[in-house]
């Protein structure tokens, strides 16, 4: 375990709270300590209130903040005296506890403090750190785990038996720590949960955390249980594009909402999926109950979604009757799928959620295998896991979670996505919650949006091999396809038919027509199993209903594409796939319209540039965003009963009318 403290960097953080920020980020930077919002930290401070009187404050990590990127506003200030009094109560529901903490914050706009705030307040140290260190969790999830912890740390830590986070844990810690801590105590281990360290300075608490976890790692190494055998090469897994899309369809049906799937086929993953005792190891439970909220109790083995759903319902019925408060069953869809051919597939309502679930289970795989080498993997009983999964605080979040974005859990592919109308479509669809795959010949597409719900791929849409590869990557990343926006195209310079070459004609037809035929044909099997039925939007042109001289190749290609879309609407309607066309005109904020071209065209019509840009019946400019917003709307519920339509987006053109 490497100590990342740097005195020069630390010196830039001058206050106690800023020091808390610095050391928290160091902890969050190591995924073997903290994963995606896990863990929490705090610092105690004395401040002056509005009356000029001293008040003791606990600054504790706020809900929704990640230690890796936390800032000063991410720490919630709560009055210490009230927290200490709460710790002395005989009983307090967790909902009441959260309310008491919220009403005793000294900054009303601060996020809700960690549910372990009372626990932090009860520990008699200025700085308190809490992580879910892989090494410690591994040891506590084995037969005889508590004895091993005592062997490693002696009286350097107080050991707390497992109890789920919340008031009961805080009260137990307050009692046990006061009775068992000595001057040699540097930390506290919560069985099957994690580890605490503390100190009078941020550095002391951080150094102790690193030292304590390092001891656990060294112990595992000495027992030949830290370094796992190098993953062996395995045959390259099949692309399985259609199988994954069909699996997504089934998972979404059980979840009763579109879900995203992400496929993982690294060596370590494939080796774990091939483990001869996978069923025993993977079906005991998560590495720490905190993870069950994201990944559910156990992963699904194989591809039988119906069997998993039935098993989950049985698990719920078995334990719900004994829950502390009445609970409503969560959706019974898996969040992790392990299959010897497909590898690991993680599931989420969003791309970020699927990615987080992958990170969590990648660590779970390591923890399970290390625990097996140490003496045998042993997770908590299903009842304890159920209590965490159906914790009243999580149930409250679900009740007050609000509505999801319109296209959350859905996937759209946009061609010509690096600029102009294509990029505007990307923006509009992502704003509505969709995961987007953008194709373009411009390499800038790959870095257009560095976020988990965007996949930018360089591809020539007229290259069948490149298109197939792009679709395979899209399905691997997001699990399928729900929407297709056919936008890529070329507009050659004005050429009369008498001067039109075969080369230009063939090029325009290949990109504007043939490429779209290929893409529609390849996407059809994916659109057919889209959870909410497939949708296609064709970005056509005013030249379809009203061609102009000098644009024979362009006009003919767009008209043929329009006819292709009409035929597809006839053929695919039985599958619930709807196809609609937009015919924009005079969209000047695209790469085709440079300032020089605008000046030349305006001069040709003896107009100013501004007048030329609004030479339509409504005297309005049409932007890429205008087209994109309508394209996104046509994929939504407003147009749910419309197919084969052709809608102009031109401000009113007398020739079209």
Q: Which two tokens stand for residue 330?
A: 């969560």
What distance in Å separates the CA atoms of residue 212 and residue 136, rounded to the nearest whole number? 9
Q: How far is CA 649 from CA 393, 406, 448, 587, 620, in A?
A: 48, 23, 26, 9, 11
Show contacts of 510-516: CB within 8 Å, 24+ apart: 510/462, 511/461, 511/462, 512/554, 512/557, 512/558, 512/561, 513/557, 513/560, 513/561, 513/564, 514/462, 515/461, 515/462, 515/467, 515/488, 516/461, 516/486, 516/561, 516/564
* CB-CB contact of 124 with 159 (8 Å): no
What distance in Å separates the CA atoms of residue 421 and residue 454, rounded to the nearest whole number? 17
What distance in Å separates the CA atoms of residue 294 and residue 122, rounded to the nearest whole number? 29
Is 554 one of the annotated active-site residues of the chain? yes
Catalytic residue, from 127, 554, 605, 612: name it.
554
* CB-CB contact of 436 with 481 (8 Å): no
Q: What is the layout of strands, in order, in the sheet containing 411-415?
A: 454-458, 435-440, 411-415, 483-486, 535-539, 578-584, 646-649
What distance in Å separates the CA atoms of residue 323 and residue 319, rounded to the nearest whole number? 7
CA atoms within 13 A on the CB side of 203: 10
Nearest 5°: phi and psi at 646?
-130, 115
Longest Cα–Cα distance of the chain, Å, equals: 98
Specify the length of the chain in residues.
657
Nearest residue to 64 via CA among 21, 113, 27, 9: 113
Burial class of residue 443 in the structure, from the number of CB atoms within 10 Å of its CB (0-12 exposed, 13-18 middle, 19+ buried): exposed
Q: Would you state the torsion angle of the CA atoms of residues 76, 77, 79, 83, taken in this order, to the nearest 10 degrees?
A: 30
For 557, the 3-state DSSP assignment is helix
Q: Which two tokens stand for residue 426?
A: 């990307």
| Count of beta carbons in the 10 Å neighbourhood of residue 559 | 17
Nearest residue to 634 via CA among 308, 457, 338, 412: 412
For 534, the 3-state DSSP assignment is coil
What distance in Å separates the CA atoms of residue 274 and residue 194, rounded to the nearest whole number? 29
- Interacting residues of 435 by C-beta distance below 8 A, sequence separation 6+: 260, 350, 351, 410, 411, 412, 453, 454, 455, 477, 478
Annotated active-site positions, please? 554
């Amino acid at each position: 375990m490497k100590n990342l403290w740097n005195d020069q960097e630390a010196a830039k953080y001058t206050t106690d709270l800023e020091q808390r920020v610095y050391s928290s980020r160091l902890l969050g930077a190591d995924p073997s300590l903290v994963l995606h919002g896990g863990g929490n930290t705090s610092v105690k401070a004395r401040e002056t209130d509005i009356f000029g009187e001293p008040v003791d404050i606990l600054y504790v990590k706020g809900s929704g903040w990640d230690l890796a990127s936390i800032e000063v506003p991410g720490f919630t200030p709560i009055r210490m005296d009230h927290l200490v009094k709460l710790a002395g109560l005989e009983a307090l529901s967790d909902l009441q506890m959260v309310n008491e903490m919220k009403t005793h914050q000294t900054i009303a706009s601060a996020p809700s403090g960690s549910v372990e705030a009372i626990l932090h307040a009860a520990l008699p140290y200025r700085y308190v750190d809490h992580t879910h260190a892989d090494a410690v969790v591994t040891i506590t999830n084995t037969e005889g785990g508590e004895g091993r912890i005592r062997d490693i740390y002696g009286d350097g830590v107080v050991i707390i038996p497992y109890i789920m986070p919340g008031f009961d844990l805080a009260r137990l810690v307050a009692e046990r720590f006061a009775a068992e801590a000595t001057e040699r105590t540097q930390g506290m281990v919560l069985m099957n949960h994690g580890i605490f360290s503390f100190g009078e300075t941020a550095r002391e608490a951080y150094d102790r955390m690193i030292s304590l976890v390092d001891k656990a790692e060294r112990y595992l190494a000495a027992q030949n249980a830290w370094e796992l055998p190098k993953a062996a090469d395995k045959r390259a897994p099949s692309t399985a594009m259609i199988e994954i899309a069909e699996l997504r369809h089934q998972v979404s049906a059980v979840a009763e909402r579109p879900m995203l799937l992400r496929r993982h086929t690294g060596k370590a993953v494939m080796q774990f999926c091939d483990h001869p005792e996978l069923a025993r190891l993977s079906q005991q439970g998560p590495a720490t109950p905190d993870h069950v909220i994201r990944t559910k109790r156990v992963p699904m083995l194989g591809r039988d979604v119906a069997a998993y759903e039935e098993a989950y319902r049985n698990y719920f019925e078995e334990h719900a009757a004994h829950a502390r408060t009445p609970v409503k069953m969560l959706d019974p869809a898996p969040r992790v799928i392990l299959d010897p051919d497909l590898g690991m597939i993680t599931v989420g309502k969003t791309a970020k959620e699927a990615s987080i679930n992958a990170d969590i289970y990648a660590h779970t795989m390591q923890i399970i295998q290390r625990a097996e080498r140490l003496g045998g993997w042993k997770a908590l009983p299903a009842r304890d896991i159920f209590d965490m999964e159906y914790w009243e605080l999580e149930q409250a979040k679900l009740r007050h979670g609000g509505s999801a974005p319109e296209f959350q859990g859905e996937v759209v592919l946009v061609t010509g996505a690096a600029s102009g109308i294509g990029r505007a479509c990307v923006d509009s669809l992502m704003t509505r919650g969709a995961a987007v795959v953008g194709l373009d010949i411009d390499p800038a597409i790959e870095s257009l949006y560095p976020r988990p719900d965007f996949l930018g791929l360089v591809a020539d849409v007229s290259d069948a091999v490149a298109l197939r590869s792009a679709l395979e990557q899209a399905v691997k990343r997001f699990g399928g396809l729900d929407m297709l926006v056919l936008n890529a195209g070329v507009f050659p310079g004005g050429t009369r038919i008498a001067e039109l070459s075969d080369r230009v004609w063939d090029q325009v037809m290949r990109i504007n027509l043939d490429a779209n035929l290929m893409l529609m044909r390849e996407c059809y099997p994916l659109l057919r199993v889209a959870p909410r039925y497939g949708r296609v939007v064709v970005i056509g042109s005013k030249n379809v209903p009203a061609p102009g001289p000098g644009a024979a190749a362009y006009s003919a290609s767009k008209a043929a594409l329009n006819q292709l879309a009409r035929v597809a609407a006839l053929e695919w309607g039985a599958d619930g796939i709807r196809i609609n066309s937009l015919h924009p005109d005079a969209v000047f904020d695209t790469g085709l319209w440079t300032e020089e071209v605008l000046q030349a065209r305006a001069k040709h019509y003896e107009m100013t540039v501004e007048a030329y840009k609004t030479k339509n019946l409504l005297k309005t400019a049409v932007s890429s965003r205008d087209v994109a917003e309508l394209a996104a709307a046509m994929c939504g519920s407003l147009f749910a009963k419309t197919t084969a339509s052709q809608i102009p987006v031109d401000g009113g053109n007398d020739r079209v009318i």
